[in-house]
Chain A
Amino acid sequence: MRFHSVLPEGRPIRLREETRLFAWESLQGKYGDEVMAFGGVHMDDVPDFGLLSKQEQYDLALIKIASEAPIRICPHEAVSGAATCGLAVKHFVPAMYNGEPLWVSVSHMTLGFDRVLYEGMDAIEAKINNAYASSPDNPELKGMGNAIRAMRIWHKRYIAALGCTRPDIAEILSRVPFQPALNFYEAVQSLWFTFAFTRLCGNWSGIGRIDEMLGPYLEQDIKRGLQTPESAREILASFFIKGCEWIQSKPEIYGGDAQHYQNIVLAGVDKNGNEITNTVTYLVLEIVEELGISDFPIAVRVNAKTPKALLIKMAEVIRHGGGVVAVYNESLIIGALADNGYTLEEARCFANDGCWEVIMPGKTRFSYVPFDALQLLLENTLRLSNDPACYENIDELYDAFLKAMENKIAEIYTNMTIHFTGGGPDIPWVWRTDTDGKYDWLWPPMVPCSAVSLFSEGCLASGRSYLHGGSTYVMVSPHIGGAPDVGNSLFAIQKLVFEERKVTFPQLMQILQDNWEGNEELRQYALNKYDYFGNDNDEADVFTTRILNDFADIVLRYKGKCPVQFPPGVSTFGRQIEWAPYRAAVPFGRKRGEILSGNLSPTPSTDTQGATAVIKSYCKANHRKLSNGSALDLKLHPSAVTGKNGVHALISLVEGFVALGGFFMQTDMMDAEILRLAQEHPEDYKTLSVRISGWNARFVTLDKTWQKMIIERTAQRTV
């Protein structure tokens, strides 16, 4: 058992041997293979199933899933409940009819599990029954009640199965999650069981602020002598190991596994502004440090008062590689949310959707719309595919690009309103009494999702589902991708055409149409003579910064125009791969089809001045306006952070990032040599995980293009 680390000394050992073995088997795919053996339930034997409404079909499906999904109790688990349907792994509700899955499931959210811990499912059920009593015709409320009934069926099956083999767990489950958790062990079991139930029904939720939820239970238990940090670590480790239950030994090769968006947010302030860092915060990091589990991407909320010990622990975990732990600049984000109209108290409660997009846990129904800003420049502004444009100066060119971006955002906004209402952007609001008496849209019903609505605030009060506009907040965020590539292109045009006059504008357009063929000398010049975005060169960075700030301003013009929140964000996730074949050659010397900038990171191999310069370039944008999130992927070579000083250096990077006004930074330790070895001998590197974007994946589950992108992505090093 060697859990992969880039450090030669390997990972520390704190957990019991059985627990470690449990982790090892899960990571090798033992339980994931079992899951794939049972796809889901079949609805064909239900009489007249096809004649039922979608909601009725869904209600029956949940009951069937809860009754028939295989029960699994692993020998060394400390908490029970397992999402054992293969279709769930593929983002479907695991119910089939006529050989096809019936519905796509829901992801990109963090549900309100805290309410289950504190109140219990019984209390939530009572609220639903009350609401249902006053509007008995509401099928969605009925569906939420039905989801609890399904949960109860599944719960009873577990208690029965555990009775003989694990009476200790059966006893805990006899109280939670239906009653409030009274101690740490019950709280972990309650959280896991509820999370597992939403997964059983196919949904991929984030966990949210696990230390805020579980920490007070543990502190109290330690005081009462019921737990020690060591015993608590074993219990909590089960939560993380069971979170690997969908890993397969021979996974499908695509964009990487382990991306079920089960994000965790650690540390930071509570709604009253008090730091919540507690024993659970450290235990989570220690478990990840030891087992290298990457299935729960972790983001630590860092602020000026973050305890030094937490920064040290965080740096120690990051140093092992795997890209599991990322950083939020908490104060900036809370400020951004307050700018957007949240109260300070609510803003302090933020978590994320499954990558880094900032949402309110248990309250927000989220989606985003990505667009390729580079393609806008190349096709709409420069018109490289047909009759190339000609601009007299850089301002004229930039204004044309801005116009194209305005049109793009207008299009995204209009499509969003059509999606939700069936009407255009001017669809009237109506006075609704069901949502605390405020103006809102009449939302048309969407696919049923009761197992999710249960845990999203607002759905109960409005009697509408999560996808039916029932959540407290509905958010659609336009995401700009390729901004550094646009910035670099404009900078190169400014230099080559308008300042140094190496070529005329029409000549450069012809060169780009020819994919730089026959112009290798000029191409090398464009590639090498200028310090592009990522080198802390103001002259270059000003372009990318301006694009981002203008993008944010354009999007913010729509603020308050409809009931949907419309905050600006930045991402490509892996889309720079999909976009590459459609993009023309670019002015800064890259040829057609090359994979360019990811998220808000420098274009690969353009950054030569080290990690601090990358962070500085990135931080020049006004990230407070980009309130949905703007991510920097930082790749460090392990040699840059070796020894005791490596930990201090990493902390200094994070502190600099926060001081300079960054938003979100995911740091991975990368050694291109090791990645190449892993390509050759995938069998030896099954637990080697890498940061992809807002999530991690085991490297061997990436296809060749993705692996290549990861290897080529900048690895900063100092030797």
Chain B
Amino acid sequence: MTAGIKLPVTEIQRFSTQDGPGIRTTVFLKGCPLRCLWCHNPETLSKQPEILYIEQNCMHCGVCVNVCNNKAHFFNKDGIHVYNAKHCKSCLMCAGVCPATAIKAVGIQMTVDEIMDVIGKDEKFYGTSGGVTISGGEPLLYLNGCLDILRRVKGLGYSAAIDTSGYFDTDNADNDCLNELIELTDLFLWDYKITNNEKHRDYTGVGNERILHNLHLFNKKNAVIALRCILIKNINTNPEHYRGIASVYHSLNRCAGIYLIPYHPYGSSKSKQLGQPDNANPDWVPHDRDISDAKNALLALHCPENVLL
């Protein structure tokens, strides 16, 4: 037990129905080694706390301008509130004083006890299949923290899942810790983004060698793994990638399914709130046709229908 460990949490979302079986509470941890151009949750990239500025809720009262020592909030000459993220030192004072819901702090440090208090609230809804998903960011950047949560969660009898990019350090990790992680985790939701390694590097900032290495390592250790494959039109909606998915699927001993997740541009509103450029690209949104093509391709590659979720 690592007493007093604190984790940067962007959000704990109750009543999650898309992050594993049943009703789940999803704990989003902050910090990610990948920089996917399409990122849906840009507020989870940095490990540091950040603020989101939600313009439509702003009443231009100026309270935040008065507390900010770094000029991250100011009024321009037209009297419009501007948020300059570059100047923000993450003191989060502004979020505390904003009377509207225009400034939201993300990445608050929480103890495992505090996290467990929220998780416990929905105990009656978990039933036999629901439970907890630790997501991010990349939750396995915090292997010990995850283990602390998982031990508590499994002690209470809830289902436990980890939603991972697969990109984390296993070479220097304690083998007992890895074994315990796999022992405690009922399901790994494992991203598999792009088969072509060069493209993977171009679009996510890292190559996929480590991800595949870890995937096979976990597979060898008998982990239950579901593949989460985002479909991005013109980037990975191609036969090479479908063959890659099928090949990974066939290499897994205990595959719980392949989720085909169409890209959506909703992450862009969060980019704006973070004071970053809009990363949305409508050309990336796959059509229904693209999704059914992907399904058909995987069926033809002997991925059974019941695993395509």
Contact = CB atoms under 8 A, between A and B. Distances in A.
A595 interface: no
A: interface residue count bin: 20 to 34
A521 B99 contact: yes
Interface string A638-665: 0011011110110111011001100000
B309 interface: yes
A522 B99 contact: yes
Interface string A360-381: 0000000000000000000000
B18 interface: yes
Contacts, number: 82
B99 A718 contact: no
A718 B13 contact: yes
A648 B22 contact: yes
A719 B266 contact: yes
Interface stretch (A21-29, A99-107, A249-257, A605-613): A605-613
B59 A521 contact: yes
A643 B14 contact: no
Contacts of A646: 17
B167 interface: no
Interface in B15-41: 15-18, 21-23
B15 A612 contact: yes
B99 A660 contact: no
B28 to A, nearest CB: 13
Given A648-B21, A648-B129, A611 B15 contact: yes
A652 B14 contact: no
Interface in B137-169: none
Contacts of A645: 17-18, 21-22
B61 interface: yes
A652 B125 contact: yes
A536 interface: yes
A206 B207 CA distance: 65
Interface string B96-129: 0001110000000000000000000110111101
A385 interface: no
A308 to B, nearest CB: 11
B8 interface: no
Contact of A718 (B18, B22, B126): B18
Contacts of A653: 23, 125
A575 B85 CA distance: 47
Contacts of A659: 124
A97 interface: no
Contacts of B18: 645, 718
B22 A649 contact: yes
B115 to A, nearest CB: 15
A616 interface: yes
A613 B99 contact: no
A609 B124 contact: no
B271 to A, nearest CB: 15
Interface of A: 520-522, 524-525, 528-529, 536, 609-613, 615-616, 640-641, 643-646, 648-649, 651-653, 655-656, 659-660, 716, 718-719
Interface of B: 13-18, 21-23, 59, 61, 63, 99-101, 121-122, 124-127, 129-130, 266, 309
16 contacts: A524-B99, A528-B100, A610-B13, A612-B14, A613-B15, A640-B17, A645-B18, A645-B22, A646-B17, A648-B22, A648-B127, A648-B129, A651-B127, A652-B127, A655-B125, A718-B13
